[in-house]
Amino acid sequence: MSAILITLGFSAILAFALGLALGVFKNIFHVEQDPRVTQVRDALPGVNCGGCGFPGCDGYAAAVAAGAAPVDKCAPGGKSVVEILAGIMGVSASSEEVVAVLRCQGSKEKASLKGNYVGIPTCRAAKLSAGGTKTCAWGCMGYGDCTLVCKFDALAMGDDGLPHVNYENCTGCGMCVAECPQGLFALVPKERKGSIVLCQNRSVVKPSVAKACKVGCIKCEICVKNCPEKCIAMENGIPVTDYSKCTSCGVCVTKCPTKCYKMLEDGVIRFAPAKAEEPAPVA
């Protein structure tokens, strides 16, 4: 019995001594934390999507408070969070809401396969092991890697073998942009208007492009030659629109022989489904 009491007494003394030592060391080595870290963290949505480029909301909050990151990198938070963070940090910032756009129309019906792929069913694995699954080396392989990393239920694979964006849910976090091994996703300002080419095939051999995909850009440059505003130029094999000059005239869309041109405001970015007209009241 005495041995038990001695052991308990020794344990209590040891615990007290360790607690006292920890308290002393805490005061000696205490580092004051910038209170803005907590303020910034509390303002963030807490989804830890990583779209800001930092390891979660905690990492981004610490970077913002330290002045190592801008206040406009939280896409899920939108303009309201940017305004709050700018107020905390005493800076001015403007945030342009962006959404993801898939620059490919190479569906199962329009893009041909180059063989029967039997490897790991992911886009990244197919690209590394077989150089892709389609004749078009730049097209969407359709395994849905992007849908797996989307934390906002904004991406889903369609029956056509392509990922489709739900623009009511898309926050422009950029996770799909980083995940796609083909680099097919682009972040586009939500309010942008004008033309965009939904193709990333950079081959200059027209017959091979046409054979690989029915809606591929064949580099005919009809869009460049016919643009009344002269706002389209070829860059690395892809026509690119200068949106500071584009007037959404639609000439490029009309003239494009393979229909790879689309208007952002007409069928590419849709933020909400059109509301059905209410039936007229019966007299």
Average pLDDT of the segment spanning 76-102 = 86
Residues 6+ apart with CB under 8 A from 253: 195, 259, 261, 262, 263
Structural contact between residues 212 and 218, judged by C-beta atoms closer than 8 angstroms? no
Check whether 210 has a pLDDT greater than 70. Answer: yes
Give the pLDDT of residue 279.
Answer: 44
Average pLDDT of the segment spanning 251-274 = 80
Check whether 267 has a pLDDT greater than 50. Answer: yes
CA atoms of 261 and 232, how far apart (whole Å)? 12
Domains parsed from the chain with CATH numbers = 35-89 (1.10.15.40), 98-263 (3.30.70.20)
72-81 pLDDT tens trace: 888 888 888 8
Structural contact between residues 116 and 206, judged by C-beta atoms closer than 8 angstroms? no
Q: How confident is the model at residue 31 (pLDDT cuts 50, 70, 90)?
A: low
Check whether 258 has a pLDDT greater than 70. Answer: yes
Average pLDDT of the segment spanning 50-65 = 87
Which helix (H) or strand (E) is 254 found in, with range? helix 251-255
Task: Identify which has the larger pLDDT, 104 or 173.
Answer: 104
Dihedral of the alpha carbons of 41, 165, 150, 195, in degrees to the nearest 10: -70
136-164 pLDDT tens trace: 999 999 999 999 999 899 999 999 999 99
Residues 6+ apart with CB under 8 A from 221: 234, 239
pTM of the model: 0.74
CA atoms of 147 and 203, how far apart (whole Å)? 28
162-197 pLDDT tens trace: 999 999 899 888 899 999 999 999 999 988 999 999
Give the pLDDT of residue 270.
Answer: 54
Q: How confident is the model at residue 275 (pLDDT cuts 50, 70, 90)?
A: very low
